[in-house]
Structures are given as C-alpha cells and as structure tokens.
Amino acid sequence: MPAPIVPHFSDALVVLDFFGIAVFAVSGALVAAERRLDFVTFVFFAAVTGVGGGTLRDLLIGAPVFWIRTNGTLLICIGAAVAVWLVHSHRFNSRALVWFDAAGLAAYATYGSAKAIGYGVAPVPAFAMGVLTACFGGIVRDVLAGEPSVLFQRELYVTAAALAAGLFVGLNFLGTSMWTAAAIAVVAGFALRGAAIARGWKLTAYKD
C-alpha cells in the first residue's frame, strides 16, 4: 500500500470516515423509515448509502475496498438502521434527512480527498475523489428509493462537497496542518450546504 503523503493522516482522519459512514447510513435508514419499510430493507438502505461513495472511490484510486476486510463498517451501518428503527416515527421528517445528509456530505468529501492524496493521487483528481465520495452514496440511495437524484436539486449540494474537498486539497498543498485543513473544510462545506437548506441558496441555472 502506498505510504501516505501526509504522515499518519489515515489514522488521524479515520474519525471523519466513521462519521461520514454513520451519518450517511442514518440518512439511508431515514429514507426507509419514510417509506415504512421492513428492518432488513432499513439495513440495506443504511449500508448502500454508507459505503457507496467510498467503495467507488477505492476502486478508482486502487485502494482495497475499505469495508471488505473489517466488521466495523457494516456494524456501523447496522447500528444506524437499528437506531432509526427504534426511534418513534414521528421524529422523522424530511428536514432531519437533509441535515444528516449535509453533515455526512462535508465529512465524507474531506475524507475522500484525504485518502486519495494518501494514495498518491494528484491534487485535482484527489479533489474529484472527495466530491465523488460525498455524493455517490446519496445518488444510489435516491435512485433506489425512486426519489429525484440529489444532482437535480437546485439548492447547492455538489457545490458544498466541492468546497469541502477543494479546501482540504488546497490547504494541504499549501502546507497547512492536517487537522486544521480538515476542520476548515468540514465546517465550510457544512455551512454552505446548511445555508442552502435554510435559505434556498442556489447557483444560476443554464438558460438557452
């Protein structure tokens, strides 16, 4: 396995990986809750949403797929499904889903770029891997649920993932400490997505 460019960043940023997995898994389980589905389907939605983006990232950067050789990742997804299943349904609403998704988006975009850098990926492709890591699981979740893809939302979504990934890659390139770069990237990505949720921020759409 290639040595990380930033020493020990894989260990130091693993908390972001676990957080992103957990939050996206919860968002997947929330979709199952809104559809009043059975528990096995809860687990399926949680797992697909939790590991989808990271799986595609690892395949593209030549890394071992992160959840294959450990029990912890899928146990996190199962735990998320159990937690959502046990909480009363009246606590669920579309706002909870989008805020959970926003938190996972920022964390996973940052971690995805960090892992790509650690495997020797150049800065621009590492930025792309961060965006892909953050967005792909949600895309799969929405397709399976028959929902319009997150890509078609007018509110800023991919842009927020791009901000988090771009900030981490840029700050790392400038020599900023790993944790400082990660903290700034996560906060900025979440803040932008949060503003889009709360205020309806969007970019200008294409006009023929």
Q: Rounded to a whole number, what is the largest CA-CA distance in the chain?
A: 51
Domain regions of the chain by residue span: 9-199
**Residue 2: pLDDT over 50:** no
128 or 152, which is more confident? 128
Mean pLDDT of the region 166-186: 93
String of DSSP letters for 1-59: -PPPSSTTHHHHTHHHHHHHHHHHHHHHHHHHHHTT--HHHHHHHHHHHHHHHHHHHHH
Average pLDDT over residues 7-18: 67
pLDDT score for 34: 85
- Gap between the Cα atoms of 17 and 25, Å rounded: 12
Give the C-alpha separation, 191 to 143, whole Å. Answer: 26
The CA distance from 43 to 49, in Å, is: 10
Burial (0-12, 13-18, 19+ Cβ within 10 Å), 145: middle
pLDDT band at 6 (very low <50, low <70, confident <90, very high): very low
pLDDT band at 91 (very low <50, low <70, confident <90, very high): low
pTM of the model: 0.85
